[in-house]
Structure 1
Amino acid sequence: MSGITYVRGDATAPQGKGVKIIAHVCNDLGGWGKGFVLAISRRWPEPEAAFRRWHRERARNDFALGAAQFVQVGPYVWVANMVGQRGIRTGRSTGVPVRYEAIDAALGLLADKAEELGASVHMPRIGCGLAGGKWSKVEPLITERLTARGISVTVYDFEA
């Protein structure tokens, strides 16, 4: 039993009461233009602007694989930009961009923030879309880092 709740729906419209953090995986190139980030940007401009600024000023901050940035987008809603992908897939790519160790580290930061805020965590199947990861490798990281600490996690499978 993973302790993760699975629902059909939109992770940018998290269900439930209280403070919620929407978590997703970003790349380490500062790119924001495909996948789940587009759904985030359609709803709120702040996470993209913060991510791009974080990347642009990376020489003076913690931007790197495994880092996480938390952006408040409403009174009870935050977005976690988690750097868990090395580069992006291209036509010449060999292998996948996902970096499980980076997702694991970012999930640890996410757990700390969720505890600080008393928040639940909401996400798509992070690292398994454009990053090319396998849910069978990501799910145990979520269980270990979040649900084992008593943090409520909901994973959304989107239906267009």
Structure 2
Amino acid sequence: MREIAYVRGDATAPQGRGTRIIAHVCNDRGGWGKGFVLALSRRWPEPEAAYRRWHRERAGNDFGLGAAQFVQVSPYLWVANLVGQRGVRTSRSAGAPVRYEAIDAALGLLADKAAELGASVHMPRIGCGLAGGSWDRVEPLVRKRLVERGTEVTVYDFGA
């Protein structure tokens, strides 16, 4: 059985060869402007533009908690926008915006896409930054949805 590989580094510069998917969690309000998404936008404009369009046109598509959008940014590199956060955290928020069941559902869609492309998956500790989640709760979802299906997963902790 494969294991999750933990490395120090930048998830926007995924290691390895072949097709790779960078996965991250976004909110269900159409907001893009804090956290990991800023690093993505510095490298590629397409994931943000696609996410904003997906949200703007949500009346006619699948946008919502648990959905996933896949944006190709180069011939062998994709970004997965996973909707796993209800709104955003504010000073008046009553709890973390993370929604584990939505992350779980979106990871299932990610697993299907990774299998289709023969891709490895690369991510920061999704759902655990601005979404306020716990890696102790997210990691088993990543294992169940991706690793147990044979997908190679690398988790990046930012740093040198």
Q: Is residue 134 of structure 2 the alignment partner of residue 134 of structure 1?
A: yes
Is the CA contact (8 Å cut-off) linking 1:2 and 1:143 kept in structure 2? no
TM-score (normalizing by structure 2)? 0.98
- 2:94 aligned partner, one-letter code: T
Q: Where does residue 99 of structure 2 map in the other structure?
A: 99
Measure, in 2, the Cα distance between the counterparts of 1:123 and 1:31. Answer: 20
* Separation in structure 2 between the aligned mates of residue 30 and residue 21 of structure 1, nearest angstrom: 21
Find the residue that maps to 1:113 and give its secondary structure: helix
TM superposition score normalised by structure 1: 0.98
Q: In the alignment, which residue of structure 2 is the partner of 1:8?
A: 8
The corresponding residue for 1:125 is: 125
Per-residue CA deviations over 1:134-153 (Å, capped at 9, x if unaligned) read 00000000000000000000
Amino acid aligned to 1:39: A
Cα distance, 1:3 vs. partner? 1.1
Does 2:23 correspond to 1:23? yes
Question: 1:48 offset after TM fit, Å?
Answer: 0.1
The residue aligned with 2:59 is: 59
Q: What's the Cα RMSD here?
A: 1.1
Residue 2 of structure 1: how far off its partner (Å): 7.5
Deviation at 1:159, TM superposition (A): 1.4
* Equivalent-residue separation in structure 2 for 1:34 and 1:19 (angstroms): 27
Identity of paired residues, percent?
81
For 1:20 and 1:113, the matched residues in 2 are separated by 11
Quote the Cα distance in structure 2 between the aligned partners of 1:146 and 1:93.
31
Q: Secondary structure, in 3 states, of the residue corresponding to 1:144?
A: helix
Residue 105 of structure 2: SS of its match in structure 1?
helix
Which amino acid in structure 2 is aligned with residue 93 of structure 1? S
Question: One-letter code of the match for 2:142?
Answer: I
**Aligned equivalents of 1:134 and 1:34: distance in 2?**
19
The total of aligned residue pairs comes to: 160
Q: Tell me the alpha carbon deviations over residues 46-82 of structure 1, each in whole angstroms, 9 at most, x when there is no partner.
A: 0000000000000000000000000000010000000
